[in-house]
Amino acid sequence: MTAASIRASRGDYAGYLHDRTVAPELGDYYLGRDGLPAEAPGRWIGEADALARVGLPAGPVAPDDLRAMMAGHRPGHPEAFLRAAGPDGTRAGGIDITFSAPKSVSVAWAMGDATARAAIEQAHHDAVQRAVIYLGKSVELTARWDPEQGMSVPALAAHLHAAEFTHTTARGVGEAAPDPQLHSHVVITSVEREDGRVAAVRSRPMMRAAREGGAMYRAALAHELRQQGYVIEPAGDDGRYFRLANIDPQVEQAFSKRTVEVQHAARAFRAEHGRAPERGELRALAVKTRSAKAPHTRHELDASWRATAAVNGLERPPAPELRAPEPVTLPVDGEGWALAVERETTADRAVFDSALLRTVALEQAAGHGLDPDAALAGADRLRDEGRVLELADGRLTTSRVREAEQTISDSLAAMAADPGRVIDAAAREAGIAAVERRIGAELSAEQRAAIDTVTAPSRAAVLIGPAGTGKGVVIDAAAHAERTAGREVYGVAVAGRTAQRLGESAPSLAGRVKTIDGFVNAVERGRLPLDANTTVYVDEAGMGDTDRLHRLTELVSERGGALVAIGDGRQLSSIGAGGMFDRLATELPAAELRTVHRTNDPAEQDAWHALRSCEARAALAFYRERGAVHLADTRDDAIEQAARAYDRHAAEHGHAQVALMSDASNVEIDHLNLRVQALRRQREELSPEHVEHPDGYPLHAGDRVIWTRPMPVRSGPRVENGQRGEIVDLGTDRLAVQLDSGDRVVTLDTDRLDAVRLGYATHVVREQGATVERSVVVTGGWQTSAETAYVEATRGGVEWHVGRDDLDGHDDAGRLDHLAERMNVSRAQEPSLTVELHDPRRLPDDPLDAFSVERLQPVAITDLAPEHGHDLAVER
């Protein structure tokens, strides 16, 4: 589900309605039975009495009635306004939310006869209606006056006024044949409050609830289709989506091919021209990429779809052939669903709210055979049985995550109390001397004190290393001291490239670094020794998620080893649930480096400190004065400026010494990569020959690439996720890449190109731990945070590129204030242990911070919502 506000301008309303009710292009937005453009009929969603109170008749949506509701007046009575105008004197048009069926469902619709199509459309409509009603009861779409607070507060609406328009194709481009895509636009124009008054819709709560609404739609749709006999299976890496099991994925891809072709053509246009194509240019691209005559009637469109299906091995079958061949009994996998909900609610953070619990419960329903009501009832049962725990502030966590956090804390505290490491003063001095010879300078008193802390007898310690403070030399000296004392040492990190950087900055660990996963697996399989004579140094431990740290900590603790956690809680946190590093820094022996060595400029050091302290306004004033903050009119313009700035700096310093970063999506990173590639291609710096990447863009000799997953190599160590290099040779079946680190050249078969992508630009997460000459950053959107800003600024020579359209403010000074506000917002991970448990069963003398696994033992869920039955029997 997607949601977007409808702008208040009356002209915008007209265009908006024109696009959706009398769309001028092909598809069944468009084609009537005679092949001529026709209106897509809509239907009103809402209780009949509530619709009648605002003057809406039963039956299909009349365009004039919808226009009236969006304009805020009673249909047929333009002088009678239903709702008050906003502060600016205008009335917002409402919210457009879109529900789109999985591609396999759209293919089943396209391949079905009239009866099958009608049944699928009805299932889709019922699911849309259920989702809209659910959102109306769950999301505070209006406000009420609270006399006690003396202000308006969010409130649930009594009724919604909404119109649904169902379409069965993706939007056509030019005269191209559209792909089948069953979806509905639902326009919520207004709400009726509990006091009977009509009011505008609050758009932000609906946008925040988009994931939950989409989850209800998919759970309801899967249930309806399952009742019709279709076999449902989970889809997506996290099981959030579903697909029809009897539709081959190859067929799904074939029916998305036309859309993908146009998207790739538009992306290539943007790369060459530095801007998105205008509508007329997009139509020209669509015509240019079209390979066959476009259909002009529904009959021709159906024939085109049948031909596509046949080429990909699917003849036009009657709908039953897409269903299970025999009546099937679908068991409700209650325990599998419960485990998935526990896993996915904490996939991103340790602490979550009730809305996310409902959302995940619904998302996991389709793949485990639950209907939406059973899933919501099951979510409540997870709380009742102690598998989901309520915290004192009303938020939630899971018993699994809470127990893992407590185990990490308890295990490391016990290790810290155990003086099991023996490293004498002579070994420590030998380590310091070796590092001083290597760097040609003496270590500071601060660095020496840190070495003393991390090599003390305690089996657990923490080193806090802000950006640029020289933690690498401290780790190198400590590891050298341990080896001099006859101990074994290993360096680990979450990411392979981070582990490699650890080995490069601390040569005493060279050849002894691995990812956390790789290290744990090697020890468990007996390939690496781990005993009381071993110390494990965990770099960028703040990026370590709780699951990984739990496995590592338990292993080191059980084997009698020692562990040193190194990191900085002010930099980027883990991708998954985490946040334990800052807590451990207060519980274990810790040393903190404070003196910045990466820059010698006191003013820049102050700016870094300001960003670290969430005082971004002062930092931005410094960078603005240095000419390092560049405002462009739009985000697209900022991307173009950043690509050209990177291009200039790379010519001066070399590509490996310039970091091009974004804190936004992979789509934006693709735009940056392809634009830089195009600039280089225009200067003929890349080979004319190329190979096609699976994502539809060319790779030339001379291009930079980055690995997006580890890749085994026949001879030598594997290439790690995050490593970069330059393509130095192209062949028909393979290419050669010279890696940035060292002179190593590896070959990559062309059927494995999905292991890499263009590597000029990356997300800021990949740059944590890197040091370069210049950094070029696109930032300023909602993803901007205190952590991203600090990491971006401290890689080296930063310049920020920001779109004015991302920021509020009447002038640039106001926009920079808004940027500073975003740079002051911390998105750091938070462990559940920082919040006390809300446990009504807690004994009076039981500390709130404690967690008793025995008292809140998780219970297996095998009987979800018995009123719905254990099984769903499907009969022919």
Rounded distance, CA 819 to CA 824, Å?
Answer: 9
Give residue 874's pLDDT.
Answer: 30
What one-letter code names the amino acid at 703?
Answer: D
pLDDT band for position 331 (cuts 50, 70, 90): low
Region 755-769: what's the mean pLDDT?
95
Query: Which of 177-191, 274-288, 606-620 holds the top average pLDDT?
Result: 606-620
Non-local CB neighbours of 711 within 8 Å, separated by 6+ positions: 718, 719, 746, 748, 752, 755
pLDDT band for position 251 (cuts 50, 70, 90): confident
Give residue 220's pLDDT.
Answer: 98
Q: Are 45 and 129 in contact (CB under 8 A)?
A: yes
Q: List, for residues 495-545, the tens digit of each pLDDT value.
A: 999 999 999 999 999 999 999 999 999 999 999 999 999 999 999 999 999
% of the chain with per-residue pLDDT over 90: 70
Give residue 384's pLDDT.
Answer: 94
Between 834 and 8, where is the model more confident? 834
Give residue 863's pLDDT.
Answer: 46
Q: How far is CA 363 from the centre of its chain?
A: 16
Q: List, for residues 561-598, the tens digit of each pLDDT value.
A: 999 999 999 999 998 999 999 999 999 999 999 999 99
The separation between the first and the last C-alpha atoms of the chain, rounded to the nearest angstrom, is: 32
Structural Rg of the chain based on CA atoms = 30
Q: Are 778 and 662 in contact (CB under 8 A)?
A: yes
Region 788-816: what's the mean pLDDT?
95
Q: Enumerate the H helices of 771-811 as residue ranges.
A: 786-793
**Of 112-126, 382-396, 709-723, 857-871, which range is least confident?**
857-871
Give residue 307's pLDDT.
Answer: 82
Q: List, for residues 695-743, the tens digit of each pLDDT value.
A: 999 999 999 999 999 999 988 889 999 999 999 999 888 999 999 987 8
Give residue 313's pLDDT.
Answer: 77
Owner of token pair 């076999």: 231
Rounded distance, CA 440 to CA 447, Å?
Answer: 15
Classified by CATH at the fold level, domain 402-592 comes out as Rossmann fold (3.40.50)
- Residue 228: which of 113, 314, 332, 319 has the closest Cα? 319
Q: Is the pLDDT of residue 268 over 80?
A: yes
pLDDT band for position 40 (cuts 50, 70, 90): low
What one-letter code names the amino acid at 585?
Answer: A
Return mean pLDDT, the chain. Answer: 87
Q: Is the pLDDT of residue 203 over 50?
A: yes
Rounded distance, CA 377 to CA 371, Å?
Answer: 10
Non-local CB neighbours of 148 within 8 Å, separated by 6+ positions: none
Q: List, for residues 334-353, the tens digit of each pLDDT value.
A: 899 999 999 999 999 999 99
HSE toward the beta carbon, residue 491, CA cutoff 13 A? 30
Domain extents in the chain: 2-322, 331-390, 402-592, 602-823
Give residue 14's pLDDT.
Answer: 33
pLDDT band for position 277 (cuts 50, 70, 90): confident
Give residue 873's pLDDT.
Answer: 30
**Of 123-132, 166-175, 746-755, which range is least confident?**
166-175
Non-local CB neighbours of 500 within 8 Å, separated by 6+ positions: 513, 720, 723, 741
Between 845 and 392, where is the model more confident? 392
One DSSP character per residue, 719-743 reads BPTT-EEEEEEE-SSEEEEEESSSS
Give residue 875's pLDDT.
Answer: 28
% of the chain with per-residue pLDDT over 70: 87
What pTM was estimated for this model as a whole? Answer: 0.87
Between 64 and 555, where is the model more confident? 555
Torsion (CA) 247, 251, 256, 258 in degrees, nearest 10: -150
One DSSP character per residue, 610-658 reads HHHTT-HHHHHHHHHHTT-EEEESSHHHHHHHHHHHHHHHHHHH-GGGE
Q: How far is CA 90 from CA 9, 70, 391, in A?
A: 8, 11, 43
User: Which backbone phi and psi does 734 adopt, to 5 degrees?
Assistant: -160, 165
Rounded distance, CA 597 to CA 594, Å?
Answer: 10
Q: Is the pLDDT of residue 27 over 60?
A: no
